[in-house]
Structure 1
């Protein structure tokens, strides 16, 4: 029986972790961490995560123009067209002890043009922490495709496997000058102890024309009475940003302790797809010498580049002044990595691939902790594809749960004949409630 944990949403990187706990010792690994080849694509992502804990009605994120709106500063005037994604991750608890209302999360899309606009929902998922995806205790690595701990883990697992949840139609038509709801769902809390719940949502979309998007918060007396479209439209026109606000971020150029802040804006890039090779002009990745290893940074960020000087964080095209300067953590961004492994030796070599969560640092090196602290820094599904030692194609899924400073177990082990090549691919969507950075490690036994 899996142990149910108290509901919580762990600290996403709003604070810096530069000190080890008294009971943990640093375990240094002598291996190189290289910048990840390639770069983010340019697909925009509507990124709604601030305030994470919603305690008041209002606008969470609006890319509408400010024309005819009561609070001009609440609207960022950013139209979407063609491919774009929507990410929303918010938590509810009663603003006061005796408040029995239910918070609804609404995502509204408006067509400002004179022609109908069609929006294809290519993939989509939205889950509550309770009861859809509670934070349960799982081992560090479990094989299986339908395993999750927390709503962010479950949503990203669905998208990784190409799913569209049944609550989403394949397509919606928005008439000229009108709006429609993409999402209109509750975050119920009053049957829970403590009364705390969260909802994670992600959609991959294609729009035939220009549209504006907003995520909104509204209270209703019950959880089975969603607000109407006109109620949402009225709130969008007349409300201000939801308060209280999250902690304001530290400016990127500041020194010392850093508050990254939470994201409310449009981030640029939904995928980092690349081949890991010896150099841009070489189609192969030469394996390490026997007993050695090398790594690539994953989701590296300001203050946590592991000596690579590479910040992979998605930039923000528009944002509110009191929210994150960039999309630290890269929540929902897909890493799609191909490793064309090459064995240059005259004998067969066995190679391992792993993902780990080393101690966050800017200086070169890979440091782990022993014993491990209690903070979970990564929980999500990873897909691996390769040909096994019998040259049979394998597609496997592993759900990983890693503490801060945890060295990950091997995801793939392949034996490569002398002077031969084997292709391995690793895919995952960076899950909400994870804390960067991570590394992808190639080691030779």
Structure 2
């Protein structure tokens, strides 16, 4: 018999009898599973995600060279050509407090000549007010671009659609100067009787022909008023680190077995390579009923039946933060598939995005596997995002496009994102695009099936 639990409600003791545990049913299907073809591009990305919850002012991450021992969040790597920035942080303020978190991005030119920094694309959203968490489920058409749940979901949707919340612009940086590029409040409700959080997610694409540096800063204003540019630059110079510090991430080598003990991925604060993954899906399902799967955002310890870890490598990172850019938050996946139907009758295909509990390889049968799922009413959400599908039959005058929004729970075997028909004696190019949403938990399984 389950033990009863005593809790407190408004100072009064309440006796609660726990609900019986949910009966979870396991289901599975067979497939062939392969590493995702292609790979990451060479674009530098500065990742600012540690600490995720910010309560103390300071530097989050900076590519500037450290000037003293205390500058532990400065990486010392100049940025040139095309490069990007991803940031995701959560404001946490005490109840009945007027304090407010501000997030800032600063560009620096430490050279003796002028630098021209171009913002090619920029978007950011906060959970409140722009992107609250709506109770969504399943798969919905999102051609309107109005379906999202949370800041990460909406940011990925905007980036996928090529939308900006920050207009493209050019910024001249005189020699040996710093300039404030971005400053936004992350407000919380001061009248909320419990501690309340609010998140901001942002993606930026830059271009500079000369070396420059980027820094992300957090400023906790006790009065709620925004900081001056001078105050932010003084804090950047001081080397003060934002807080609180998170528990250290586990150190590991990506091609070696995991170390003993508790494993902690940690949050990412570092400079890595990779803003987009491009690949041609192959092999594809041939026989009726056949399923072929590929991992999306596979991790060091979660490779879904393959040996592939898609985490972007980090060239430099803040000490004790994540070893790799696991999860690939903000990374764009651009995948193509070339289908051919030599038959005298049409073929039908389906495309899915699943969230299996695991993918088990069959002994002595290369690539043959079993994907394990669960049927549960209370499983946590693991993916909130939109997938853009494009396809064109060679005999058609123009192609078709569909933007689909999907919610995936832990262990969920999902319905088809799209079912499409390939006419007899024809071929079709199919394109799948998604920007991996910051609010998601990797990995997922992309699957194609021939239905008939």
TM-score of the alignment, normalized to the shorter chain, above 0.5: yes
For 1:170 and 1:382, the matched residues in 2 are separated by 29
2:164 aligned partner = 164
Partner Cα distance (2:359, 2:316) in 1 = 28
Would you say 1:404 and 2:403 are equivalent positions?
Answer: no
* 1-structure distance, mates of 2:96, 2:316: 37
Query: Contact (CA 8 Å) 1:288, 1:442: kept in 2 or not?
Result: no
> Which secondary structure state, in structure 1, belongs to the residue aligned with residue 417 of structure 2?
strand
Question: For residue 416 of structure 1, what is the aligned residue in structure 2?
Answer: 422
Q: Deviations over 1:317-348 (max 9, x none)?
A: 11122111101100000000001112344432
- When normalised by structure 1's length, the TM-score is 0.88
**Equivalent residue, structure 1, for 2:312:** 314
Q: Take 2:95 and 2:154, find their aligned partners in 1: how far apart are those partners? A: 30
Q: CA RMSD in A?
A: 2.1
The 3-state SS of whatever aligns with 1:434 is coil
Distance 1:109 1:390, change over 3 A: same
The residue aligned with 2:353 is 355
User: Are 1:365 and 2:366 matched, yes or no?
Assistant: no
User: 1:70 Cα shift?
Assistant: 6.7
Q: Over alpha carbons, which structure has the higher Rg?
A: 2
Do the aligned partners of 1:66 and 1:73 also contact (CA within 8 Å) in 2? yes
CA distance, structure 1, for counterparts of residue 191 and residue 298 of structure 2: 36
Does structure 2 conserve the Cα–Cα contact (< 8 Å) formed by 1:288 and 1:294? Answer: no
Alignment of 1:282-431 (within 5 A): 285=284, 287-360=285-358, 364-387=369-392, 391=396, 392-431=398-437
Provide the TM-score with structure 2 as the length reference.
0.87
Deviation at 1:418, TM superposition (A): 3.6
Cα gap change, 1:98 to 1:71, in 2 (>3 Å): farther
1:227-266 deviation digits (Å, cap 9, x = unpaired): 2221111101114322221222223331465311110001
Give the equivalent residue in structure 2 for 1:5: none
Aligned runs of 1:175-190 on 2, under 5 Å?
A: 175-190=174-189
Contact 1:388 1:414 in 2 (8 A): no
Whole-angstrom CA distance in 2 between matches of 1:55 and 1:361: 39
Q: Is the 8 A contact 1:336 1:425 kept in 2?
A: yes
Structure 1 match to 2:155: 155
Contact 2:340–2:426 under 8 Å retained in 1: yes
Which range moves more in the overlay, 76-85 or 188-197?
A: 188-197
Query: Aligned ranges for residues 53-64 of structure 1 at < 5 Å?
Result: 53-64=53-64
Aligned partners of 1:256, 1:367: CA distance in 2, in Å?
26
Counterpart in the other structure of 1:127: 125
Q: 1:436 to 1:116 in 2, by over 3 A?
A: same
The equivalent residue for 1:24 is 24
Q: Which runs of 5+ in 1 are unaligned?
A: 1-20, 279-284
Change (3 A) 1:126 1:262: same
CA shift in 2, pair 1:422/1:267, >3 Å: same
Q: Matches of 1:305 and 1:208 in 2, distance apart?
A: 38
Secondary structure of 1:93's aligned partner: strand
- In 1: Cα distance, 2:379 partner to 2:132 partner: 18
Match of 2:111 among 110, 113, 132: 113
Q: Deviations over 1:27-69 (max 9, x none)?
A: 11111211011111111111000110011111111111112x5
Cα distance in 2 for residues equivalent to 1:174 and 1:399: 41
Contact 1:122 1:204 in 2 (8 A): yes
Offset, 1:222: 4.5
Quick one: structure 1 residues 248 and 358, their matched pair in 2 at CA, closer, same or farther if it must change by over 3 Å?
same
3-state DSSP of counterpart to 1:74: coil
What is the rounded CA distance, in whole Å, between the counterparts of 1:258 and 1:289 in structure 2?
41
Distance in 2 separating the partners of 1:365 and 1:248: 35
Q: Kindly indicate whether the alpha-carbon contact (under 8 Å) linking 1:305 and 1:362 is maintained by their aligned counterparts in 2.
A: no
What's the offset of the Cα at 1:381? 1.6
Q: Deviations over 1:283-311 (max 9, x none)?
A: xx4x3311221111111111111111100
Residues 373-421 of structure 1 deviation map (CA, whole Å, 9 limit, x = unaligned)? 4311001121111137993421221111111111222222222234432
Which has more strand, going by share of residues?
Answer: 2
For the Cα contact (< 8 Å) 1:373–1:404, is it kept in 2?
A: no
Asked if 1:439 corresponds to 2:442, the answer is no
Distance 1:434 1:328, change over 3 A: same
Deviation, 1:181, is 1.5
